[in-house]
Structure 1
Amino acid sequence: MQTLHAASPDDYAAALTAHPRLLVDYHKDDCAGCRMLDMSLRKFADNPAAAGVVLLKVKLETVGEDFFRGLGLRQTPTLSLFADGSEAARLPGFQTPAQIEAAVGRNFG
């Protein structure tokens, strides 16, 4: 699973356009759940279900709180799955590797 980092809203928009199977990790530095989710994502990356999925990491401190609010995000961490540029699912809070795999299977299958 390829991992990208959005440094701006333009980077975010470009990734949505460029990658048909995009998993977006909205996170921030001071967030224990975000660190736990990062471990789950690293484990999921080794799973065959991760093949062809691109992970985009979007950090609140980098892109800004207004950007997060504009997306309707209420908490970190939150994962969103985008299929062909459209949001297919939003998973708020910590997710296990198995939960991530199930969501990817449902939305990218």
Structure 2
Amino acid sequence: MHVDGTKVGNHYWNRLSDGTEVDLTAEQFLPEEVVVNGHVVARPPDAPRRHREQYELLRDRVMTGLARVTAVRAELNDVPCADRGPLQTARMQKAVSDSASLTRVGHRPSCR
């Protein structure tokens, strides 16, 4: 992360296997704080040694949240786009909101 062209820190976020980027902390930065030169850091095969309990709690919450969103998406995929309405949109928004505040993961099911 840079401010006025000077590196002042690091910022990490997640990229899911489908390429979706999830950044739950992007809103914390001031307008002059800019994330630049992002690069992929391979996830270690096991949980970190430090703060393992917190890591596992967060991981469980994220996995549960993603499962909820996936389940609602699958259910809504069976509903033709023309028949989707405010109720289905509200259900997806609630699933996302209830799922550990994963606000950047699929706001609504896509229609093709």
Interval containing the TM-score (normalised by the shorter chain): under 0.3
Name whichever structure is richer in helix by fraction. 1
Name whichever structure is richer in strand by fraction. 1
What's the TM-score once normalised by structure 1's chain length?
0.25
Structure with larger RCO (C-alpha < 8 A, sep 6+) = 1
Q: Choose 1 or 2 for highest CA Rg.
A: 2
